[in-house]
Amino acid sequence: MRHVALDPDGLAGLCVVVPAPTGVTYHHQYGGTACRQGRQEGYLVPLAAFAALDQLREIFEVHLDSVGTWNYRWPDDELDHLRRVITEISYWTSDDGRSEEPKPLTLDESRLAEVDEAWIPVQTPDGPAILIWPNSD
């Protein structure tokens, strides 16, 4: 098994880690100043969604003060905002190996308790994944 630390200096923006038996496990610090440590075996997909990244930083670093959201009870308006931001992120997939098409990510609400700064469970066209970005800490 290979282990790859995704330290904040190593990430340029948003990425997803899609679980898969790759033999590579990614380690990522998340949760703002709570400094939680996440691990996921799979493959890393960089995403070009700079406006969404700015909005996610606004939500977690400004509105929620970078302290993490462990067991946070999301008010309906905040959850709706988070959902909208996530769907603005395109994930390019190749269903048949020839044609590529962007599809939006969606918040994986079955794992809502895991949502934190720089660690958001999402659904991609390739299945469940973790949306990550450089932690503010």
- Nearest by Cα to 36 from 65, 63, 67: 67
Classify 14 as helix, strand or coil: coil
Q: Which helix (H) or strand (E) holds 80?
A: helix 76-87
Output the tens digit of pLDDT for each of the chain's 137 residues: 899 988 756 677 899 999 999 999 999 999 999 999 999 999 999 998 999 999 999 999 999 999 989 778 999 999 999 999 999 999 988 666 666 788 999 999 999 999 999 999 999 999 999 999 998 87
**Residue 82 C-alpha from the chain's centroid:** 12
Residue ranges per domain, the chain? Answer: 2-132
* Torsion region of 135: left, alpha or beta (phi above 0 gives left; psi -120 to 50 gives alpha): beta
> Tokens for 52?
């969404």
